[in-house]
Amino acid sequence: MRVLVVEDEPRIAADIRGGLEEANYVVDTAGDGEDAWFKGDTEDYDAIVLDLGLPRLDGLSVLKRLRAAGVATPVLILTAREGWREKVEGIDAGADDYLTKPFRMEELLARLRAITRRAAGQASALLKAGRLELDTRARSATVDGKALALSVMEYRLLSYLLLHRGRTLSQGELLEHIHGGDSDRDINAVEALVARLRRKIGLPLIETRRGHGYCIPNEPA
């Protein structure tokens, strides 16, 4: 899962980035509204964490521009404790949720999980495919109740495939959302990762769509 964190306060940005990376997210950052607008419009993110008080271009304007451009990426806005008007304006402008400063990292993670699930049409924190179950809260996966020992990259791949179950995902898209947009890896890294994950799962869940990518179908294999 790839997230853009837009925050002009370096300490807060570093804290959010650290918490997200610890939770297995791929994280990009922007420190002002112009950079946020450019990245949000040109890069593919699973979610955006957007502070409203930004230099060069305020967060509300960034959000309005993104929505006007047709960018549907889920957005979690950060507001000051007394900024209830900003919350209303943000939701009306197209934000999916808001979080009041100061906040606990656990709540930010929970809200991010919720808005990304809703955007993918998933209601539960438990993502299932046949005998496989992935708990996005605990960041763990099981087959028939037996825990799978997954690496960070394997977990990212499995969670992304499950979150977008039924859709064929290209190797390029998977590479971008698992390794990040600045990665120097090639599609061979995705092929190797899929092969390792298939061995660990031990079930024919991940299908190869020749020339298109990979998919976990809606119906169990």
DSSP characters for 71-86? ----EEEEE-TT-HHH
Give burial (CB, 10 Å; 0-12/13-18/19+) of 218: exposed
Question: Does the pTM exceed 0.75?
Answer: yes
- For 52-104, how does the pLDDT look when each residue is reduced to its tens digit (9 = 90+)? 999 999 999 999 999 999 999 999 999 886 767 888 888 999 999 999 989 99
Break the chain into its structural domains and give their ranges. Answer: 2-119, 126-215
Q: In this model, does residue 221 exceed pLDDT 60?
A: no
Tell me the pLDDT of the chain averaged across its residues.
92
Q: Calculate mean pLDDT across residues 101-126.
A: 92
Q: In this model, does residue 182 exceed pLDDT 90?
A: no
Which CATH architecture fits 126-215? Orthogonal Bundle (1.10)
Which CATH architecture fits 2-119? 3-Layer(aba) Sandwich (3.40)
- For 127-178, how does the pLDDT look when each residue is reduced to its tens digit (9 = 90+)? 999 999 999 999 999 999 999 999 999 999 999 999 999 999 999 999 988 8
